[in-house]
Amino acid sequence: MAIRNIVLEGDPILSKKCRVIENFDERLAQLIDDMIETMRLNNGVGLAAPQVGMLKRVVVVQVDRDEPAIELVNPEIIEAEGTQEEAEGCLSCPGEYGITKRPMRVKVKALDRLGKEHIYEGEALLARAFCHEIDHLDGILFKSHVVQMLDVSDLKSS
Ligand code: NI
């Protein structure tokens, strides 16, 4: 496994649409393992392939360190309900946080590294992480969902 560099906001790769995965090969497995390691090292709850420079529909999510990371290949949100407004940030936008409006619960259909289909249900933080990371695959950053940007200096001093 290897740590990959995180692409920062301003790089055009973050606004592009990613390609569907068709080959479930060793390179895909390596990418997923590297993304999990990179997410953990950076204390992220999720990471999308374009954030490591790959225009591929691959996402990893881990909101609970005691659970295994979830790998999502060609993910699709198939159901969404409710709303939540919580603080959100992105490893590609260091130091920037905002309150976003997201669904409270989502159901996601995705493949794993072997091409097997899974359905995941996420609520609260997990729902937000699914939405945030899947948005990255279509070139959308969390700021498009922000209802109010937060001043980080206020956050730190309070
Ligand atoms: Ni992000």
- Condensed to tens digits (0 to 9), the pLDDT of residues 7-59 reads 999 999 999 999 999 999 999 999 999 999 999 999 999 999 999 999 999 99
- Average pLDDT of span 79-100: 97
Report pLDDT for 155: 63
Distance 73 CA to ligand 1 centre (A): 16
Q: Which one, of 74, 40, 60, 78, lies nearest residue 126 by Cα?
A: 60
What pTM, to 2 d.p., does this model score? 0.95
- pLDDT tens per residue across span 63-85: 998 999 999 999 999 999 999 99
Distance 25 CA to ligand 1 centre (A): 25
Number of H helices, E strands in the chain: 3, 8
Are residues 102 and 124 in contact, defined by beta-carbon separation less than 8 angstroms?
A: no
Q: Is 133 a catalytic residue?
A: yes
Report pLDDT for 42: 96
Q: In the structure encoding, which two tokens stand for residue 114, read together?
A: 């072997």
pLDDT at 156 over 70: no
Q: Which of 26, 71, 117, 133 is catalytic?
A: 133
Distance 42 CA to ligand 1 centre (A): 12
